[in-house]
Amino acid sequence: MKVAWVLIFLFGGLLANAQYMEVSVDGMVTFDGVDFIINEAGEDYSPSVESESSVYVSIDFQSFWDALFNPNRKWKIEVAKEDLTWNNHVKLEIKRTEDGYGDWSNNKRKTRIKGGDNYQVVDRVSRDFFSGKGSAYFVPLQLKLSGISVTQGAQDFETNVILTIYDD
């Protein structure tokens, strides 16, 4: 009987702690000739270029039971980048432009997220981006490039922006 109680205690705790959120991203960002504009011959590019909000991040419970037993689970997202080929003169920044939706089905419930609404540098070191509670869907992200100059020449480079979710 003692053993049974211990097992109930352990698995009860496991169930309560098994909140495992998952993060997913839709879309990608490409900065190209449309973004790099020279207004007049003799000039350099604009000091910075912003992407359209064509990347959306969603945070969801991994299982129905997680959502049912702890809908207010706290989490935080960290951001970093892993360069494939990158120009080290160029700075990449990220922010979220809106809050997204708290409800997948009817998009009526507000999300409970905070932070991340100002540009912050994305580099190889993972840094806090934003945090929240429960699920959040279609949170739009925007990227900004600065430090690009005509003098660097024609070139292509790319990086992977990595978003990692942790229990907060």
Partner 1 sequence: MKHKGAFLVIIMLFSLTRFSLGIGENTEHKASVVIPDVALLSLQHDGNSNIELMGTSSSVAGSKIEMGGEATADIWLNYSSVCHKNQKRKVTATVVGEVPEGVIIKVKADNSVGTGKGELGKTNGTVVLSSNPSDVISGIGSCYTGSGVHNGHLLSYQLEIDEDMFYQASENKLASVHVVYTLTDDN
**Binding to partner 1 by residue 25, rule CB under 8 A?**
yes
18 binds partner 1 (CB under 8 A): yes
- Closest by CA position to 136, among listed 114, 153, 158: 114
**Rule CB under 8 A: is residue 149 a binding residue for partner 1?**
yes
Question: What angle is formed at CA 104 by the lines to CA 116 and CA 55, rounded to 5 degrees?
Answer: 45
Q: Which is nearer to partner 1, 14 or 68 (CB)?
A: 14
Among the candidate windows 96-104, 111-119, 127-135, 154-162, which touches partner 1 by CB under 8 A? 154-162
Q: How far is Cα 57 from Cα 59, in angstroms, rounded to an integer?
A: 7
CA angle 67, 134, 132 (to 5 degrees): 160
The nearest distance, CB 102 to partner 1, in angstroms, is 19
CA 157 to chain centroid, in Å, comes to 21
- For the four alpha carbons of 46, 52, 55 and 59, in that order, the dihedral sign comes to positive
Interface segment toward partner 1; rule CB under 8 A; list 26-34, 97-105, 110-118, 128-136: 26-34
Residue of 99, 96, 97, 93 whose CA lies nearest to 143? 93
Residues 62-91 that bind partner 1 (CB under 8 A): 78, 81-82, 87, 90
Which spans of this chain sit near partner 1 (rule: CB under 8 A)? 3, 6-7, 10-11, 13-14, 17-25, 27-33, 36, 38, 40-44, 51, 55, 57, 78, 81-82, 87, 90, 92, 143, 145, 148-167
